[in-house]
Amino acid sequence: MTKLAFLGLGVMGYPMAGHLAKAGHAVTVYNRTTAKAEAWVQDNGGVFGKTPAEAAQSAEMVLACVGNDDDLRSVCLGPDGAFATMSEGSTFVDHTTVSAAVTAELFAVAKEKGIAFVDAPVSGGQAGAENGQLSIMCGGDQADYDWAEPVMNVYAKLCRRIGGSGAGQMTKMCNQIAIAGLVQGLSEALHFASKAGLDGEAVVEVISQGAAGSWQMQNRYKTMLDDHFDHGFAVDWMRKDLGICLETANENGASLPITALIDQFYKDVQKMGGGRWDTSSLFKRLQES
């Protein structure tokens, strides 16, 4: 049993922290909205801290899954941040999708304090978190990753160290770039089928068994055809992630023309009032254009 703290109890963090408690770890949680932390304790046992610093007190490992760069800084730094009370030799694991820049910043601060820092963004969505089937891509020192991996494996179907600090976040950017293109391609295929008077389900049944098949096709085509988009990963969060991708591409010289275009398509969806819709709502944008 490891003494853990988990910071951030959103749609991902809530079940992830729950898996850790069910695995027998001693878990203290923190959430910006205290009511959510109280509900988690009611469901899973354990205790909650009123601040990240209080939750992290005496923890061997602190894990976080919050919203963005600023949210991550707020739970790490300052007198109420986790770094204020984490002891030398403890480990911080960041599951948030953030920029490589803030990862480098916090890695350096943690190192000065003798705290290990592993960037470990996840893929698999809310269903993956609830079912303990997340894909976790990690960056950091090998020894620190080796210590954190057994804990992360509680809710992972695959957990890998890609390289040094920041490599996990860079890999997550690759993931989001690939997803954006796949969703747009699937949306256009279903839109074309509709305009051609074809049965969308019959079309997918055939093409999904060949080279066009993908996770997005298998898991999203029915809800797309049913005009159902209030599930999964929200457009607002996807635009945040694609913004990180495009900013980083400007820094490293990568060419992302399709990603930049699809980011603008998601902007159109936001203008339609779909900021909280699932990313597969690119199909709805086409149908209503």
User: Is 267 a residue of the active site?
Assistant: no
Q: Spot the catalytic one: 3, 113, 172, 240.
A: 172
Contact indicator for 229, 274 with CB cutoff of 8 Å: yes
> Cα–Cα distances in Å, from 61 out to 13, 95, 171, 253?
15, 13, 23, 36
Active site residues: 172
